[in-house]
Amino acid sequence: MTFWDHLDVLRASIMRCLVIVTALTIIAFIFKDEVFDIVMAPKEGHIRLINTGLATQFVTHVTVSIYTGLLAGLPYILYEVFRFISPALYNSEKRVVTWVVLSSYFLFMAGVAFNYFAVFPTTITFLGNYQVDTQIENLISLESYIDTLLIMSITLGLVFEIPILSWMLGKIGLVKKDMMREYRRHAIVAILIIAAMVTPTSDAFTLAIVSLPMILLYEFSILLVHK
């Protein structure tokens, strides 16, 4: 195939992805109540959310629908990426790429789920009820709530990619198994610092809930690095 033929194939793949994501976004927009029941579930009933802008609720509705469409359409997007590059790969390379893509997707979704069920509820409860003075009432804006949920979900999703990143760095020789074992204590300290930043609560139980999966991911990464 010529360069322009490849460009036509790529354009067709992008258009199919846009159609799928747009369709899923519209579905999410229509099923607003069901989507926002899921989005609002992590907050407790006594935490009040307010709207401070005339168009903020509508913009939030559109934004959440788009992210929902992207998240739901991510498997198809990955499929189109693999379909585009697979003709240039050997069978052995196809197996490796398939493993990397599927593993990356499931690890990212695991990170998002971990944030949704464990980290974000704890964070919103602590920050939503934190007061420097009893005379100051917390009125959390809808925009702040959604932004925090999205940022933390993406952050934890990327953190859960550590095993894949370690495996890739090990393949090109930048990371060694012995080196990861040698710096295990440093890594644990770094993980505890990251966990404390992500969940600004003061109790050790919450810190352990957040940091333990990250430590297990690091240990699993050591197993994936061959040398």
Average pLDDT rounded to a whole number, residues 109-121:
91
Which residues are within 8 A (CB) of 187 and not within 5 positions of it... i.e. 6 or more apart? 180, 218
- 27-81 pLDDT tens trace: 999 999 999 999 999 887 668 899 988 999 999 999 999 999 999 999 999 999 8
Tell me which of 122 and 61 has the higher pLDDT: 61
d(CA 124, CA 140): 10
Element (H, E) at 207: helix 204-224
Residue 175 has pLDDT above 90, yes or no: no
Alpha carbon 148 to its chain's center: 12
Residue 126 has pLDDT above 90, yes or no: no
Average pLDDT, the chain: 87
DSSP code of residue 51: -
Question: 140-141 and 49-50: which strand pairing?
Answer: parallel
Report pLDDT for 203.
Answer: 62
Cα dist from 35 to 48, 68, 69, 125, 218, whole Å: 19, 8, 11, 21, 33
Average pLDDT rounded to a whole number, residues 175-201:
82
Three-class DSSP category at 60:
helix
Is pTM beyond 0.75 here? yes
Tell me which of 173 and 75 has the higher pLDDT: 75
